[in-house]
Chains A and B, each alone.
Chain A
Amino acid sequence: MHLSNETMNVGFVKKVEALSGTSVRRCFQCGKCSAGCPMSGFMEHPPNRVVRLLQLGQWERVLAGRSIWYCASCETCTTRCPNKVNLASIMDALRKLSWDADGPSKESYVQLANRLFIENIRTYGRQYELRLGAAFNMKSGQFLKDLMLGPKLLSRGKMKLFHSKNKNLPEIEAIFNRIEEMRKKGEAL
């Protein structure tokens, strides 16, 4: 295969590099990231292949797949890369680009969990675990998931039925709004 700026789709690679603050192009495919990755068995493309696909301009295959959503952010890859490629940050950048494009990936459960978790911050300030679990079950259609766990956690005080909102909720909301505003104006990625 002939490698050029065009076939590499260097524009996309540069966007990933800007977001992640690391070099996609520096990877020489030693595979150490995938060897230590606890999640590679769940991915269709292990971490080193995700980077290789980016280098070859095949980013659409990466965004459409499950791999980026199955990364646990354990940072083992970043810690061990001999070329100092911050792969965990590349995964963050790819998820953001996929998220902004309204999630072309088939992996919807992880995206749903992320969305509910972030919504919880905006609505309550602190995580409301009961609501997080219940909303996930409702929206993913898994009504019976972990149903037996609820009473166990409630009876041990590990889960609360009621949850108070932070007093400074308007300040938290303002952070979300200012970020949205900056993005609208093109002042932030």
Chain B
Amino acid sequence: MTSAKKHIRHYAYYPGCSLHASGREYDISTRALFKALRLGLQEVPDWFCCGATPAHNVDELLSHSLCAKNLTLADEVEGDLAVACAACFSRLKTTQHHLKRDDAKRKQVETAIDGPASLDKPVKHILEILARDFGLAKLEESVKKPLLGLKVASYYGCLLTRPPEVPDLDDCEDPSIMEDILRALGAEPVKWSHRMECCGANFTLSRPGVVLHLSNAILKSAQAAGADCIMVACPLCHGNLDIRQQNIESKNQTDYDTPIFYITQLAALAVGVAADKLGFESVIVDPRPMLKEKQLI
């Protein structure tokens, strides 16, 4: 069977560094979900680091050059570019946005990458592929095991919506794309205060105290809203809320035990992918006891 028949739509895939390491379950569950929805996903050959925050922090030209080269590599694969990491998504779209509007900058980048900057392939976050390309109605139809009774705090963090002209994903102060997807999956999104507050991002390496402070506020707010779990769409947010959760609890003398899910894990579970195919064994705060209690696995 050719891929065109097998798949209803095909995407090039830029996983980003974290998805091959600390965020491996995001990669595993993204592939499982796309397969279940009959969406093709082909990894961009030889992709490399987008530079993330450290590169643009001190060297904008380097940041744009790394992203522009990756966008050129992505051109070799059929379909729009699917990106799972919020930071990679933000950096790749920032480069497209700026280089399309600034000829001088584009020329410098083209000198750096020794070739034309390819800026036209649509870069799409997994969230928009699910909610818009695939569509909420079709997603709802694809659900085999609705996530009934699961109260989810959807956490957007910073880079999925800010600054508004770059990601062009949803409203920059009051987005709803995550809640819309959750409703389609049969889950119950809770209303809470910290959907868009920063988790401390890459300070987890240099100044972890920052993360312990900011991510504590996020966990506390989700707990106060009665959420069973938090859903994220970024490996860095996941790392700070999951890997650092025990640090946060001991520093603040609290007890959260709040499972942190990737959007793709919850969506895959609802469309019928087996729980043992979603990388739950990799996370620190094991979500399986809670899922069993809710009779979702």
Q: What is A's interface to B at a CB cutoff of 8 Å? A: 19, 21, 38-39, 42, 70, 72-76, 78-79, 86, 88, 92-93, 95-96, 99, 109-110, 112-114, 117-118, 120-121, 125-127, 129, 132-133, 136, 145-146, 149, 152-153, 156-160, 166-168, 171-172, 174-176, 178-179, 182, 187-189
Query: B131-174: contact bitstring with A at CB < 8 Å (1 yes, 0 no)?
Result: 00000000000000000000000000011001110000000110
User: Please, how many angstroms separate the alpha-carbon atoms of A156 and B23 in the complex?
Assistant: 11
State the majority secondary structure of interface residues on B. Answer: helix
- Also in contact, A136 and B46, with CB within 8 A (given A160-B21, A175-B69): no
Given contacts A78-B163, A99-B59, A156-B283, 9 further A-B contacts (CB under 8 A): A70-B210, A73-B57, A73-B158, A79-B164, A86-B163, A112-B206, A113-B202, A126-B48, A157-B24
Query: B47: which A residues are within 8 A, CB to CB?
Result: 126
Q: Is the CB of A156 within 8 A of B60?
A: no
Query: B202: which A residues are within 8 A, CB to CB?
Result: 113, 117
- B190 at interface by CB-CB < 8 Å: no
- B5 at interface by CB-CB < 8 Å: no
Query: A175: which B residues are within 8 A, CB to CB?
Result: 62, 65-66, 69, 112-113
Give how many A-B residue pairs fall within 8 Å (CB-CB): 160
Q: What is B's interface to A at a CB cutoff of 8 Å? A: 17-18, 20-24, 46-49, 51-62, 65-66, 69, 98, 102, 108, 111-114, 158-159, 162-164, 172-173, 197-198, 200-203, 205-208, 210, 214, 243, 281-284
Chain A residue with the shortest CB-CB distance to B279: A157
Query: B158: which A residues are within 8 A, CB to CB?
Result: 72-76
Q: Is the CB of B206 within 8 A of A156?
A: no
Query: B172: which A residues are within 8 A, CB to CB?
Result: 79
Q: Is the CB of B284 within 8 A of A156?
A: yes
Q: Is the CB of B282 within 8 A of A156?
A: yes
Query: A174: which B residues are within 8 A, CB to CB?
Result: 114
For B21, B46, B113, B243, which residue has the most chain A Cβ atoms within 10 angstroms? B21
Chain B residue with the shortest CB-CB distance to A167: B46
User: Please, how many angstroms separate the alpha-carbon atoms of A109 and B54 in the complex?
Assistant: 12
B49, B52, B162, B243: which contacts A79 (Cβ < 8 A)?
A: B162
A-B contact list, 14 entries, CB within 8 Å: A73-B56, A73-B158, A86-B163, A92-B57, A109-B206, A110-B206, A114-B58, A117-B55, A125-B46, A125-B48, A126-B49, A145-B208, A175-B69, A188-B108
